[in-house]
Amino acid sequence: METAASNRILTIPNVVSFIRLLGVGAFWWVLIVDHDIVLAAWLVFAIGWTDWIDGYLARKLNQVSNLGKALDPVADRLMIVSAVVGGLIAGVVPAVIAIPLLVREAIMGLLTVYLASRGGGTLQVRYLGKAATFALYGAISAFYLAAAGFLEILMSGLAWFFGVPGLILYWYVMVEYIGDIRTALLRVESPHQSDAITEENDVGT
């Protein structure tokens, strides 16, 4: 059963999510200003590894909040998009991985904004989506490390090993999310449909 979300702002899980968002800024500084690809790679991996912590703490501490449900996917998307775009700029992430990832993120971003604009709220995160995200975090980090010459052969192999299935799973989960969006929109629209049917019946009598 899904835990009811509160309107609290200052919670431990939300602090973790804010720290992850700050980590995105640190990543760009390390990559663009310091030109440290290895440290940037470890930042991507560390932020990806903490992906599950805020959600776990929210459930464990009974601190599930509406803000947290919005922050968690935002932190994920910002980090992945930053890592991919930064990887393209630095020439460390292959376009065959990067472009489909960015297209998928653009589609999901537009869909979630549309859902929120129609009063459908936020999407419930799927565990398969978390698994795909974690695989991609590992793959992107490995691409960075391989480009920096850190265990290059091993890291390159791991990058492709996790990157290809992670990307496929990422797109598969998007199809499931589209179904969730349709269901949420139907719930939003059903009261209006019921009112319309009632009004039509009243006119008929």
Per-residue pLDDT reduced to its tens digit, 160-197: 999 999 999 999 999 999 988 888 888 887 755 444 43
Pick the CATH number of 12-204 from 3.30.1180, 1.20.120, 1.10.3470, 3.30.70: 1.20.120
Q: What b/e readout covers 172-204, taking b as 16+ CB neighbours within 10 angstroms? A: ebbeebeeebeebeeeeeeeeeeeeeeeeeeee
| 1 vs 120: which has the higher pLDDT | 120
pLDDT of residue 204: 43
- In angstroms, how far is the first alpha carbon of the chain from the final one? 43
pTM: 0.74
Supply the DSSP symbol for 124: P
Cβ atoms 8, 65 nearer than 8 A: yes
Distance of CA 112 to the CA centre of its chain: 11
Residues 70-116 pLDDT 10s? 677 777 788 888 999 999 988 899 999 999 999 999 998 898 888 88
Residues 24-58 pLDDT 10s? 899 999 998 888 888 998 888 888 777 677 667 76
